[in-house]
Structure 1
């Protein structure tokens, strides 16, 4: 046995550089900006052949960046994939954000760090994929600072990429799709309409928390220049939660069935529901 141990140690040393190279191949170098830096990280290919990539952003303590819908104030990230090769499609999968208060009001995004998962569909799965990203975003403490980052990642077909715990952690925070109506294991929107109990126009939703879970917040998105206020959540005697949400801004003359996206933040899993609400034209 004593002779085997040195051989195992030598084998570990011999495999070390290869393992390190594999680990390095799964990440791009950091691209630093003021109070933030970003890089690309990769995970194993999915069963359907899509490449799993993440945009990792790490900020200075106390800084935050914004979600795709930044709330009352803020700037959503702008992705530029020009220069990428062998890519037939990209799906940006946003982790559930949180609401925070800044100097002017409420905004929506991420504090400290985030990994935004990306699903990449190769045109030809037998050929390498080159992911090239230029990202314009903002990081904010008391004031917002524009930030830019550039990163690239070369992904060989058929090569087992090192599993990234960081990427998997944020993939688990991507909201699950949920149709309107009751669900046994997920939070749900069981009723939705206009709130006729307030002077300002708004939405009124009845939410069903999941078993052994809770609802913490709900974010609303509409097409174009729709903007919604902070949700007011009121638990009801029957176990549901009443959500009242003010419409802060809307496109001129927008009326009729309006497609909206509702993202529910809570435990054990966030959910995303898409539905249309019949909203009459606003006051001139």
Structure 2
């Protein structure tokens, strides 16, 4: 537990003044040259430094995109205003155009300090910011950051004066709007602006309307000076969605802008509905630049309930069954020891909860450091898979009676399990989480998806409740006497049951070998099998007495190893095979592939899966190979994509996050012009057929 404290601290300290991604460096800055007090000038600002060719968006993003959004958490008596947007630039994208920022831009926000504000005793004003921005090149990536900044409340803050002054200089200056109009003339706006500086006369100006979806951003337009008035003829958008009575606009020259409000003169033509089928190139461009992060649709309380139910259901998942065997043996071994049962139940629960929280803290800390990880990330490492396979091989041999741990250990160590049942139960809980964590049970998906978007403390609470749900049946069984009385009494049957339980443990080893085969190919699976055979041979040889028996044991194990190597290839090939006619239906998922297929007019079904996800394999071998389901896919002209997350893939991690998920399985149906539909984790034939046949 002590080793987890730095990870917990790192996860809880994920909020900071700087967030860096592969595309943007974002920093929260403050400017309080006169200190913090009522009536004083205080500014905050988010500075975005873009990598070359990347950009974010203005308050009106143009034909596509999304403006940066800032959500503040401030002390009582401190209120944040709106972003004082600097003058943007026009960013052409084929026949379209957006308004945004490249290079480095500071988005300043004024603070109002009211008389209710009381300077904190610590002397610092703590500011928290949740920021979301869409950063685009040819592709678009929704990003976010949690920032915290402590601003001295009893002294001045002017270290960032130069950056804020540059942002103030880039803000448009107000113009007297008297006489400035936007006259509706057929399918265009005839714009007249009065009161511009005399130094601008005769010069071409840039035009940025603050109201979106009115003019055709990427179209050609004309401008001219008529004496002191600047005029322009700007085409209306064929898909106009707004009919304002006044239009605030920004005119700019060489980075300096002037803002005025145009009075709309005339009657707007009837707004046209968007055509049912936009050109594929336009449709793809719009989707490419307007992709926003999916917001989880459930609240924190619902997420806690989903985590508790999901943890309970985890006990029914195949990957957890071997651990249940160990718990059943342990329960029956001490059936008459009620106090021991209770202590063991608490220790097991503590092991499960601490392990879930520890894994979650590690994942959150690595994500805060810029890693693209999701739930079950540990089994994306072939080394972890190999270590688990070796561990379960040893446990299986022990359950089968091949050896006893006490025969290999000093007598003092050999009796530790009996002397320290609490530690033994706690470690069993840790082992259960190691095997169960890659599974995603029903109710878990949405809860885990919300957890990774929450502050660290709330996220860890969700994972802890998930662990509590998984341990709850054993906790209840250990503390409720009627449940304990249902347990069978100790007897000779226990030895037979113990040996029987070795088989699900070996089944887990087979599964892990297959997982490593998916990650590293058949050679990797073969190498792991050879390692496990060598490990088994060593364990067995150590139990033999006499040279002859040792030689015979070694020969038998060598023969078994040769057969296992041959069988390993067959296992891998059979496990990865699909029914006839099914495999060729699926294509590999890739970023942008869904958009391409939708632009071609095809609906898309995406299977987010991984070899180490037992639920994924169950669904793949049952529902997704059902003849009626496949026939419906074919009749509806569905494109089938498979996103394989067996090895770490940041693009798949990001796609899952956009869907509000952090683990697999996830099944999604995409249709042109409609939001994606996310199915349940354990899908049934009727559920899939209902969704893919629903054209509404």
Task: Give the TM-score range, shorter chain.
Answer: 0.7 to 0.9
Map 1:230-245 to 2 at 5 A: 230=217, 232-236=221-225, 238=227, 240-245=229-234
Inter-CA distance 244–207: structure 2 relative to 1 (3 Å threshold): farther
Q: Does 1:148 align with 2:144?
A: yes
Q: Does 1:50 align with 2:46?
A: no
Q: Partner of 1:218 in structure 2?
A: 207
Could you report, residue by residue, the CA deviation over 1:72-124 in whole angstroms, capped at 9, with x for unpaired residues? 1111112221x322322323111011111124510001012210011011344
2:182 and 2:263 mapped to 1: Cα distance?
A: 10
Could you report, residue by residue, the CA deviation over 1:134-157 in whole angstroms, capped at 9, with x for unpaired residues? 111111111211111221212222
Contact 2:170 2:255 in 1 (8 A): no
Please report how far the alpha carbon of residue 237 of structure 1 lies from its aligned counterpart in structure 2 after TM superposition: 5.9
User: Quick one: which of 76, 82, 88 aligns to 2:79?
Assistant: 88
Q: Partner of 1:37 in structure 2?
A: 25
Q: Secondary structure at the match of 1:92?
A: coil
User: Quick one: which of 159, 166, 172 aligns to 2:169?
Assistant: 172
Q: Does 1:192 align with 2:189?
A: no
Inter-CA distance 62–145: structure 2 relative to 1 (3 Å threshold): same
Q: Does 1:66 align with 2:57?
A: yes
Please, which moves more after superposition, 139-148 or 238-247? Answer: 238-247
Q: Secondary structure at the match of 1:76?
A: coil
Q: Partner of 2:93 in structure 1?
A: 102
Q: Partner of 1:261 in structure 2?
A: 248
Contact 1:40 1:53 in 2 (8 A): yes
Contact 2:176 2:195 in 1 (8 A): no
Contact 2:45 2:107 in 1 (8 A): yes
Number of corresponding residues: 241
Please, which moves more after superposition, 85-94 or 70-79? Answer: 85-94
Contact 1:207 1:242 in 2 (8 A): no
Greater RCO (CA < 8 Å, at least 6 residues apart)? 1
Q: Partner of 1:273 in structure 2?
A: 260
Inter-CA distance 229–250: structure 2 relative to 1 (3 Å threshold): closer
Inter-CA distance 30–216: structure 2 relative to 1 (3 Å threshold): same
Q: Partner of 1:13 in structure 2?
A: none
Unaligned segments of structure 2, at least 5 residues: 1-15, 273-696
1:93 and 1:227 mapped to 2: Cα distance?
A: 22
Q: Does 1:160 align with 2:160?
A: no
1:149 and 1:232 mapped to 2: Cα distance?
A: 38
Q: Partner of 1:184 in structure 2?
A: none
1:111 and 1:269 mapped to 2: Cα distance?
A: 16
User: Quick one: which of 217, 228, 243 aligns to 2:215?
Assistant: 228
1:193 and 1:138 mapped to 2: Cα distance?
A: 31
Counting strand residues as a fraction of each chain, which structure ranks higher? 1
Could you report, residue by residue, the CA deviation over 1:120-179 in whole angstroms, capped at 9, with x for unpaired residues? 113445425322111111111112111112212122223111242112111111111222
Could you report, residue by residue, the CA deviation over 1:199-228 in whole angstroms, capped at 9, with x for unpaired residues? 524342245642333452111133xx6432
Contact 1:235 1:241 in 2 (8 A): yes
Q: Does 1:202 align with 2:193?
A: no
Q: Partner of 1:6 in structure 2?
A: none
Inter-CA distance 170–49: structure 2 relative to 1 (3 Å threshold): same
Could you report, residue by residue, the CA deviation over 1:222-268 in whole angstroms, capped at 9, with x for unpaired residues? 3xx6432247342336364321222214337x4xx612211111258
Inter-CA distance 97–178: structure 2 relative to 1 (3 Å threshold): same
Could you report, residue by residue, the CA deviation over 1:26-83 in whole angstroms, capped at 9, with x for unpaired residues? xx632022311211111234693131111100111111110011011111112221x3
Unaligned segments of structure 1, at least 5 residues: 1-27, 182-189
Inter-CA distance 46–98: structure 2 relative to 1 (3 Å threshold): farther
Inter-CA distance 236–216: structure 2 relative to 1 (3 Å threshold): closer
Contact 1:73 1:104 in 2 (8 A): no
Contact 2:184 2:265 in 1 (8 A): no
2:226 and 2:174 mapped to 1: Cα distance?
A: 27
Q: Secondary structure at the match of 2:135?
A: strand
Q: Partner of 1:114 in structure 2?
A: 105
Q: Partner of 1:11 in structure 2?
A: none
Query: What do you get for the CA RMSD once the two structures are aligned?
Result: 2.7
Q: Partner of 1:251 in structure 2?
A: 241
1:221 and 1:268 mapped to 2: Cα distance?
A: 17
Please report how far the alpha carbon of residue 279 of structure 1 lies from its aligned counterpart in structure 2 after TM superposition: 4.3
Contact 2:48 2:106 in 1 (8 A): yes
Q: Secondary structure at the match of 1:119?
A: strand
2:33 and 2:107 mapped to 1: Cα distance?
A: 16
